[in-house]
Amino acid sequence: MMLTETELVDLVIQWVRENSPIGDRVDGLITAETNLFEGGLLDSLGFVDLITFIESHDGCRVDLADADSGEFAILKEICRLALRNSTPAEQKGSI
């Protein structure tokens, strides 16, 4: 079954809390509207790891080819991009 935007945002927030290079200082700094690169929440390698994490969930595909920088800097926009790029079969949970 495909995740909702809210579910994916919550998963990504938790992932960033657990994997950010700034460690415990993440708490209180991260919301759905957070720019993940400002303040050092993610670096380029962390971003690649985040994309891999997102794509590990059924139906989520992140295609940065048509994305602008705002879509992959803001947490909620990355999630929307992943959900937008899923295929109809994945959205229905089909094989």
- Give the integer Cα–Cα distance in Å for 93 and 46: 28
Percent of the chain with pLDDT over 70: 86
The model's pTM is 0.81
pLDDT at 34 over 70: yes
pLDDT at res. 1 = 61
Report DSSP letters for 18-74, one per residue. HH-TTGGGGTTT--TT-BSSGGGS--HHHHHHHHHHHHTSTT----GGG--HHHHHB
- Kindly provide the b/e burial profile for residues 76-91, where b requires at least 16 CB atoms within 10 angstroms of the residue's own CB: bbbbebbbebbeeebe
Q: Does domain 5-87 have CATH number 1.10.1200.10?
A: yes
Contact criterion met (CB below 8 Å) for 83 and 8: yes
pLDDT band, residue 12 (cuts 50/70/90): very high
**pLDDT for residue 77:** 92
